[in-house]
Chains A and B, each alone.
Chain A
């Protein structure tokens, strides 16, 4: 019982990340996935040239945009998938493993995104 307040405040913070990630995922991912996953590979729209991408990536704002687009949606995934697993599998003794897997995964993805974007 003594741990309840600490736990509750954690959940609030994680829910904020989930919520922010949900907004970012809803606004940014549809167009990104549509262009890079469907429109460019299927030839509906002309693929941007490598040089054009180099030009775009030279802007720190573009790299910040890509970092936000990668990191926050991962925390959105972590929160939602955690509860999908909790409720779907109903394996209470594994809840801590699931928690570590989900947020650990989101952290690893965030670090990878930061590493890649800083080394470009």
Chain B
């Protein structure tokens, strides 16, 4: 893309005028489902950054003691934080699901010359995901 536009500028002379290129609308991705999912998936990185930022604040509050940590958890109960975390959670889920489903495309598995169906290649990702999630929940919930 960038190489092409450099080429265009280099080739721009009196007898070779600049090629006509239709200006793409900023909202080109709204028209088709695949493009929309692509853009939303790209934007999911913002939710990742949001989550890590939140976790760093949580760690800081934890480090400062129970009162500070209590104020932090109170903040998380405010409607605006609930709303933001709900949005972030949806984006994170989109990232997780698209990421797990991408594995069979990135690494097609063949058994006996036949390609293993994609859902079978993606399945271990989901098994690992559920196991790790259950373990984390168990650690946090067991003696609270």
Contacts and interface: CB of A to CB of B under 8 A. Distances in A.
Question: Are A and B associated in one complex?
Answer: yes
Interface residues of A, number: 51
Contacts of A25: 48, 92, 95-96, 99
A5 B81 CA distance: 45
A33 B45 contact: no
B137 A40 contact: no
A52 B144 contact: yes
B123 interface: no
Nearest to B24: A90
B52 A73 contact: yes
Nearest to B56: A112
B132 to A, nearest CB: 5
B66 interface: yes
Interface residues of B, number: 49
A80 B42 contact: yes
Interface string B50-70: 011111101110110010011
B89 A37 contact: yes
Interface of B: 2, 42-46, 48-49, 51-56, 58-60, 62-63, 66, 69-70, 73, 76-77, 81-82, 85-86, 88-89, 92-93, 95-96, 99-100, 125, 128-129, 132-133, 136-137, 139-141, 143-144
Given A40-B73, A52-B143, A56-B140, 16 more contacts: A26-B95, A31-B132, A33-B89, A33-B92, A37-B89, A40-B76, A41-B76, A41-B81, A41-B85, A42-B82, A69-B55, A74-B49, A81-B45, A113-B52, A113-B59, A116-B63
| 10 nearest A-B residue pairs (beta carbon) | A37-B85, A31-B133, A80-B45, A26-B96, A48-B144, A26-B99, A116-B59, A41-B77, A77-B45, A77-B49
Interface of A: 21-23, 25-38, 40-42, 45-50, 52-53, 56-57, 62, 66, 69-70, 73-74, 76-77, 80-81, 83-84, 92, 105, 109, 112-113, 116-117, 119-120
